[in-house]
Amino acid sequence: MKKALVLSCILALPVLAQMKPATPAPGTARPAPAGRAPLSVPGARSNTAPTFARISIDDAVKLQKAGKAVFVDVRSNEQFSYGHIKGSLSLPGSQLIRRFNEVTPGKTVITYCACTAEQSSGRAAADLMGHGVKNVFALKGGWTEWRDRGLPTAVGPK
C-alpha cells in the first residue's frame, strides 16, 4: 500500500510542476478570463499613476496675463484661506467635479496644490480630463514654488 502511494506521488510530481499558481504574485494583476471584461469597482484606485499634463510656472503666468487661464486650487478651503494664487478658484479635490461649472468656460484650466510633485493637482487634472475637460494642466511646483518665487498671492476666502 505504501509503495503504491509513493509511486503515485512520484508520478504526479511532473504534472504538479507544470501547473500555474492559482493566485498571482503580489503586485501583479490577474488577467480576466477569456471573453470577459475585468471587474470594475466604483471608487477603487488603480495601481497605475494617472496621466496628466504639467505646465511650468513661466508658461502659466503668460497664459494668466493674456487672460487665457484660470487657476484652480484643489487644496482644502482652510489651506486656501491661508494663501493662494491671486485670482484662483478654491475647488477642493473632493468637490472638483461637482462644482466645475464655476470655472469660466473656454479657458485653460491650471490645477495646483501645495506639494511640488503635483500629486493632488495631477489627480484633479486627470479627473477633469476623464470627464471630458480639455486644456487641463497641473502646475509644476504648485503653490509652494509660486509663493517662493514671489508671484502674486492673496489670503482669505476669496
Which residue numbers are catalytic? 115
Select from 69, 65, 68, 82 the least CA-distant residue to 144: 82
Contact partners, residue 57, CB within 8 Å, separation at least 6: 139, 140, 141, 145, 146, 149, 151
468637490: which residue's cell?
95
Element (H, E) at 85: strand 84-85
